[in-house]
Structure 1
């Protein structure tokens, strides 16, 4: 196959940041994606409907003329989140999900949840109205090895929360382990999982073997090769419970190439080309549209996009910029470490 046409895809987990960074990275997503679930972990975080509306307005104001893109807003769950504010934001179509960050788990998560008993009321209200909970699935217990934090979170936190809140619709975001894949597969129709582009490509050797590669460092961190292969199998399986959430997360290079570097891979620029490469390797190009354009929309109860994008296989490796320039500093585009022969047609 040398070309493929898909419904315009959705990114069901995206970091757009704010200010100068937002202005630079938004076109990289809007070029290919029609919609995105936008993460609320700004400083300060987006915790109320009014803040979500203001952030949406800033996103739309930064969208270049001639580009079409719909930001699907989320609220940042805290121990003081008002269930009625959440319900009102959802009823008005402003907010499509609420994001749970365990406090200290990742970038700008300090305001997240420590005592899960204190958010039961919000979760019960969300279950009643069908509003999804997006979960960063890692414990922050320092006694738990960083490579085990997803599996431990499922056992200690996620499964008890779901059992205590029947009907709560949950997205386990950026699944990175075989245990996470199995849990989603066994979770019924109220549970789904997003998979990132970079976790389909990286294992932990890519970050650590032969020298530390800060631009491959992300959270949840890439795991063993067996886990990467489990993610690939899930992504290409056609199982509607799995869909794309890039977790594209821009940081200026000085903050990545740092003694305590930030976590995140910036993949917005080249995700579709990389996914075509991966799905071709797995003999599953015919299932790429489901993963990128149909499954996520169905879980979030959205109509599939009417627009189309086309990808073509070329004789020469695709090219994309090594970095993009932003007012907050240069941002390195994710490098898979191998040639890619797919590109989105202009």
Structure 2
């Protein structure tokens, strides 16, 4: 799209990977997602992981209660609709029966694999996928429920920048060999090897892509000093990997779609001697995506990436509402203060050319 346009109208997008947390943080961040997205896949790695359908039901009620408070306080229209798509946290002790419970619930849409100790709140994650979860994997394959994968091998002997590559060799490749029809989502893909695996795999597979992995490379972490607000897992990679992700997304492949991985942590836990991993990008997510698509003359590819590929993969209807983005100078705030919570948004202090 070479000709400059003042605005674009697309089908209302969805976020296929977001962290809402719980309690006060949930109330603080939900608005930023609801103002842009019609649906969102909600991550289950709370401090007490969401491991059962009943726990997901209760968490979903807390999300809907928070949404109701936004409407009551006139922060969003009373006619506004948002659907949380719940997930369950896979553990070494998950039973195959739980897959059936989740599938029949009507509100749980996937299971999430966190290798133990791979990221925030992952200590209860899977220690050995093939020894401990084979029956669950068989059931997921049989009923067609997606397995969402945090694709990093958390081995202290593996360089942090190589964790995704090693995970592909040791887990993804044998997983596809043993379960050729299991539906997989390669979450927040961050490497050329990850992109290549998704493009070349012969089974049902897709990948979510974050704004930070499209916009930044690992040099950005250290530009002008250490930037803890760009520290996320999977960590930002070298420029060749960013370019590979850009190429895949702009190729028009239906296997890549929007998943912000927006992961809020209060400012004091990011600017800390042991800062938490995660970028809070929900505040400006669609403007950030539009900016990077625009910079690469690919605005015509944004709607499929943000609004079509995700629901098509999950077997859900595309949204019927529309969403407008405007070409306008947008200075991202240095900090967001929501009640007692301070958050630093992705790109804080910078200027982008799109806004919602």
> What is the CA–CA distance in structure 1 between the aligned matches of 2:35 and 2:223, rounded to whole Å?
34
User: Tell me, what secondary structure is at the counterpart of 2:173?
Assistant: helix
User: Tell me, what secondary structure is at the counterpart of 1:188?
Assistant: coil
Determine if contact 1:24/1:325 at 8 Å carries over to the other structure: no
Q: Deviations over 1:73-121 (max 9, x none)?
A: 0000001111112212212212100000000000000000011110111
Q: Deviations over 1:144-175 (max 9, x none)?
A: 10000001100101111121112100000000
Deviation at 1:70, TM superposition (A): 0.5
2:352 aligns to what?
340
Mapped pair 1:44 → 2:36: no
Mapped pair 1:29 → 2:42: no
Q: Deviations over 1:184-226 (max 9, x none)?
A: 0001351111110111111011102431100011000000011
Unaligned runs of 5+ in 2: 72-77
1:325 aligns to what?
337
Determine if contact 1:103/1:109 at 8 Å carries over to the other structure: yes
After TM superposition, the score normalised by the length of structure 2 is 0.94
Deviation at 1:325, TM superposition (A): 2.6
Determine if contact 2:331/2:351 at 8 Å carries over to the other structure: no
User: Tell me, what secondary structure is at the counterpart of 1:147?
Assistant: helix
Aligned with 2:302 (options 288, 309, 312) = 288
Unaligned runs of 5+ in 1: none
1:111 aligns to what?
124
More displaced stretch, 331-340 vs 59-68: 331-340
Dislocated runs of 4+, deviation >4 Å: none
> What is the CA–CA distance in structure 1 between the aligned matches of 2:52 and 2:337, rounded to whole Å?
31
Aligned pairs (5 A) from 1:9-158: 9-63=13-67, 64-65=70-71, 66=78, 67-116=80-129, 117-158=131-172
Mapped pair 1:229 → 2:233: no
Aligned with 2:213 (options 183, 199, 219) = 199
Deviation at 1:122, TM superposition (A): 0.5
Q: Deviations over 1:292-336 (max 9, x none)?
A: 00001111111011111111112xx21343322345621111117
> What is the CA–CA distance in structure 1 between the aligned matches of 2:341 and 2:330, rounded to whole Å?
25
User: Tell me, what secondary structure is at the counterpart of 1:312?
Assistant: strand
Aligned pairs (5 A) from 1:256-271: 256-271=270-285
> What is the CA–CA distance in structure 2 between the aligned matches of 1:301 and 1:22, rounded to whole Å?
27
2:315 aligns to what?
301
Number of aligned residue pairs: give it: 342
